[in-house]
Amino acid sequence: MKLEIRGMIENSLLDWDGKVVSTLFVPRCNFRCPYCQNSGLVLYPEKYPVIPVSVIQEHLLKYRNWIDGICLTGGEPCLYEDIDLFLEEIKKLGMKIKLDTNGAFPEVIKKLFEKNLVDYIAMDIKSSFENSLDREKTKYEEAAGVKVDTNRIKESIRIIMESGIEYEFRTTVVPVLHTAEDITAIARYIKGARKYCLQNFSSREVMRAKFKKVVPYKLEELEEMRKLSLVFVKECIVRG
């Protein structure tokens, strides 16, 4: 499957801390997170027009004195077998690259690192690796919406932490899916990680309608989770 770009924020100050980037959205994903904020791109990619690579290149060249690079997000960018070829074209323009991923494709992450095509990686950790009350699912599968080989997730975590590349792990914290104990378990698993981000859930746009009724955690509650996480990780921040 060839990589497509079906969405672009030309100038963003929000997607890479301390940098101005153009955020590029790929369609499709192997997960079906019920709280997904980009479900249209995942479920109905044909509704979004393809943005030609030439248009993206022209934009980046035009603003290269102001833009630091790109953030490639989605969807899931690592679904695409030619992601390295796309990123090579971006690198030729002198741009830095941030990659967002769900970590389900450790071999792709490893290949991109070996080719020096990623300057910063943000990997979602959907939940703890504990069992769910629903015996047929793990907590990870409840949050991801599909069956998940968590050994591949763990392998991606290992590759990232040993890479020497700047990174962050992040979890979107949803009251019906995550407890403070879950967040602590994640932080414990990634003990020693440089940065762990707790992103507050938003019910504005979700994949499953029942999640529109879910009330997000209060910021004070997330702050308590942040403090618990700091026992294990070097930095923990709350977003949203």
152 near 100, Cβ under 8 Å?
no
Asked if residue 91 is part of any domain, the answer here is: yes
pLDDT in tens, 41-94: 999 999 999 999 999 999 999 999 999 999 999 999 999 999 999 999 999 999
Does residue 180 carry a pLDDT above 90?
yes
- The count of structural domains within the chain is 1
Give the range among 38-42, 161-165, 194-198, 232-236 with minimum mean pLDDT: 38-42
Q: Give the mean pLDDT of the chain.
A: 96
- Checking if the pLDDT of 133 tops 80, the result is no
Determine, yes or no, domain membership for 200: no
Is the dihedral angle over the CA atoms 62, 63, 65, 70 positive or is it negative? negative
The two tokens of residue 200 are 């507050």
Q: Which residues of 146-183 are buried (b: 16+ CB within 10 A; e: fewer)?
A: eebebeebbbbbebbbeeebebbbbbbbbeebbebebb
pLDDT score at 47:
96
Q: Which pLDDT belongs to residue 134?
A: 62
Residue 218 domain flag: no
Is pLDDT at 34 greater than 70 in this prediction? yes
Looking at residue 153, which CATH number applies to its domain? 3.20.20.70
C-alpha span between 183 and 171 (Å, rounded): 8
Task: Assess contact for 19 and 70: CB atoms under 8 A.
Answer: no
| Overall average pLDDT of the 201-230 stretch | 95
Task: State which residues form the domain around 104.
Answer: 7-181
